[in-house]
A and B are shown apart, each in its own frame.
Chain A
Amino acid sequence: MAYTFDWKLVLSGEYGGWIAQGLVITLKISALAIFCSLVLGTLIAVFRLTRVRPLVWFSAAYTEFFRNTPLLVQIFFWYFGSYSILPEVVNKWLYRQDFEFAAGVIALTVYTSAFIAEDIRSGVFAIPKTQIEASRATGLSFLQSMRFVILPQAFRIIIPPLISQFLNVVKNSSLVMTIGVMDLTYMTRQVESYTFHGFEAFTVATVIYLAISLVVSFAVNVYSNRVLKLIPY
């Protein structure tokens, strides 16, 4: 079977536009999920570090459960199955939004926050214990010492693993095409099925994903080589 390459077809005009639209959605859903999972992950990590039993158990169960189930299943759960668990008000609000997009963001957020919580926890463990003891001794409450002393130092250490987690979000966001979010992967499939030029379309999409990963991980390498060396422990 002779196959003629037609790069122009997928790089410009309508089909190129589709891929660009897909990229925008991918970046949007990733950014939202990264932001939300950072907040949620920090919260879960702090739960784990308190001495309050129910909070510790909740946090442990949360991280173990969501880290050990496939993202795809979680996406399906939020998309197909969440309505009978969530309260009516939340459901109504969600259906008024772009529901596919919302379910995708929720699934990515919940999944990623479990990983981020573990990263933050290990970052906090890397801080010498005396730090929290000293800050508690100066009269700060547990939350205040977390907020002003521990977390700022921990975040500086865990920036490299966090960023690679963020890159995972960008890559994982390709799964939301299964529930019909028109992201980069979805649009690439669309171009493939309209033009039968799958090779070109998937090459373009792969290069885009790859470029995002390589640029960001290069920046992280520079950061960990230059900045992390300055940290005394």
Chain B
Amino acid sequence: MHWDVIAKNMNYLLIGAYPHGELGGLAMTILMALGGIFGAFWLGLVFGLMRLSKRRWLYLPALAYIEIIRGTPLLMLIFWFYFLAPVLWGHSLPGHQSALISLIIFTSAYIAEIVRAGVLALPKGQMEAARGTGLSRMNAMRHVILPQALFNMIPSFVNQFVSLTKDTSLAFIIGVNELTKAATQVNNRTMTAPTEIFITIAVLYFIICYVLTAFSRRLEKKIMRYQARLR
């Protein structure tokens, strides 16, 4: 085994060539995941609420958006964006922007479903009571339903964030310099230790994702206890 290869390149795997060059490696992965979840949350919230609307012109486009995106592989979406941006805008987007947009679009469809499920899971009386006090549907959503629903959805958001972190590895395919790309670069340069390199980055991904999963499980228990007390 050649674990010295890992020791020599650990810095590159973690932050890329950062102080002297571009940021990359694990840091880039985390940045993309954070940017992705932030964008996907807002986009997903919009589509989730549109999907819940009773107006056909609002919920049909949302339904189509969610079903189409959930039915296609992320890789397809990434290619779409990467190859079609030049057709649409006349110039190509840099890899990391294009990958980030694809990740946001992809994840937002799943977030929209989480939002929908979270809102539907609340007792119907909440909406009725809020409307009864004279709030409009929008205001009731904004001040009564969403604060409760979003709180209950936190564990699902964390799980989605874990999926997103894993999905950022696909950005490698269009040349974004994140952890997986850094690993293949190190692998191509050294040629002697593919097993060690891929085990190492698997462990790096695992640490992030497992910590988050464990966190979301504890949170879920807490929230369930909290809800049980309210009933």
Contacts and interface: CB of A to CB of B under 8 A. Distances in A.
Interface of A: 1, 3, 64-65, 68-74, 76-77, 80-85, 171-172, 174-175, 177-178, 185, 188-189, 192, 198-199, 202, 205-206, 209-210, 212-214, 217
16 contacts: A69-B206, A70-B168, A72-B172, A73-B180, A73-B201, A73-B202, A80-B198, A81-B199, A83-B195, A172-B73, A175-B73, A175-B75, A205-B76, A209-B72, A213-B70, A213-B71
B187 interface: yes
Contacts, number: 114
A81 B195 contact: yes
A225 B71 CA distance: 21
Q: Decide if the interface of chain B is mainly helix, strand, loop or mixed.
A: helix
Contacts of A73: 169, 180, 183, 198, 201-202, 205
Contacts of B183: 73, 76
Interface residues of B, number: 42
Given A68-B206, A70-B167, A80-B187, A174 B195 contact: no
A189 B75 CA distance: 11
Contact of A214 (B71, B83, B194, B206): B71
A80 B194 contact: yes
B73 A209 contact: yes
Contacts of A189: 79
A199 B72 contact: no
A198 B90 CA distance: 14
Nearest to B89: A1
A72 B75 CA distance: 11
B73 A76 contact: no
B18 interface: no
Interface of B: 1, 67-68, 70-76, 79-80, 83-84, 86-87, 90, 162, 166-170, 172-173, 180, 183-184, 187, 194-199, 201-202, 205-206, 209-210, 213
Nearest to B71: A213
Contacts of A171: 72-74
Contacts of B194: 76, 80-81
A3 B84 CA distance: 11
A232 to B, nearest CB: 24
Contacts of A80: 187, 194-195, 198
Contacts of A74: 202
Given A69-B206, A84-B195, A209-B72, 12 more contacts: A1-B87, A65-B202, A71-B169, A73-B198, A77-B198, A77-B199, A81-B197, A81-B198, A84-B1, A188-B79, A198-B83, A202-B84
Contacts of B1: 84
B166 A70 contact: yes
Contacts of A206: 72, 76, 80
Contacts of B72: 171, 206, 209-210, 213
Nearest to B195: A81
Contact of A1 (B75, B90, B170): B90
Contacts of B68: 210
Contacts of A72: 169-170, 172, 180
A3 B87 contact: yes
A2 to B, nearest CB: 10
Contacts of A84: 1, 195
B11 to A, nearest CB: 19
Given A69-B205, A80-B187, A199-B84, A64 B79 contact: no
Nearest to A173: B73
Contacts of B205: 68-70, 73
Nearest to B184: A76
A63 B3 CA distance: 26
B76 to A, nearest CB: 5
A220 to B, nearest CB: 13
A60 to B, nearest CB: 12
Contact of A76 (B90, B198, B206, B210): B198
